[in-house]
Amino acid sequence: MNFDFAYVLEVIPAIMKYVPLTLFMSILAMAVAIVIGILLAVMKESKKSVLRGFTSVYLSFFRSVPTLVLLFIIYYGLPQLFPSLTAMEAVTAAVIGLGIKQAAFLAEIFRAAIISVNKGQLEAGLSVGMSKFQTAYRIILPQAAENALPGTGNTFISLIKETSLAFSLGVTELFAEAKMMASSSYKFLESYLAVALVYWVLIIIYSYLQRVLEEKLSKPYRT
């Protein structure tokens, strides 16, 4: 068996310095996805058929197109139509691509979370003199946030993993560095195992933080 565990331990510190970049892209892409996802969720429930139609097309397209194809369209394709985009950095293209794609999934998560809250609570809030905004902000949205958190957390986990696709645009991040080390040492198993372990630890840490947040949000509703 030709496996060098010592090399795995050598690769891990070398690629750990790219963890901040991976988290930076993940968090920014998640912010983009949340903003667009909320807008899409609202538009999906709109009474205007034009908005509902646009949302349906958006969701259908971005949920169907592979992430790698979308990144190539944004980074390599759009500058062909808009020359000013040739100055766009690869990290920016990756964040935009990941964000607008995951927004299509978050939109359905947010919409389902809002719908899951009993409509009677809106009526109850109005009956005690609260405005629709106050009822939504104080009663409906906190419950919707709790319902949406598991699905939103899974989306963020997907984003962390999908940042590895940024290497295809020339971004040197976790996977790209491991790939270069594998190519120079010919120790492919050790290099890719090292990056897999780093991603695993990142997901474990985030999953723990998510559980803590879920428990905090659910406290007011415990009997």
CA pair distance 156, 161, nearest whole angstrom = 9
Single out the residue of 106, 70, 92 nearest to residue 21, CA to CA. Answer: 92
- Identify the DSSP state of 128: T
- Identify the DSSP state of 179: H
**pLDDT, tens digit, 9 for 90 and up, residues 65-98:** 999 999 999 999 999 999 888 889 999 999 999 9
| 8 Å CB contact between 156 and 26 | yes
pTM value is: 0.86
**pLDDT, tens digit, 9 for 90 and up, residues 176-194:** 889 999 988 889 999 999 9
Spell out, as residue ranges, where the chain has pLDDT lower than 70.
1, 118-129, 131-139, 218-223
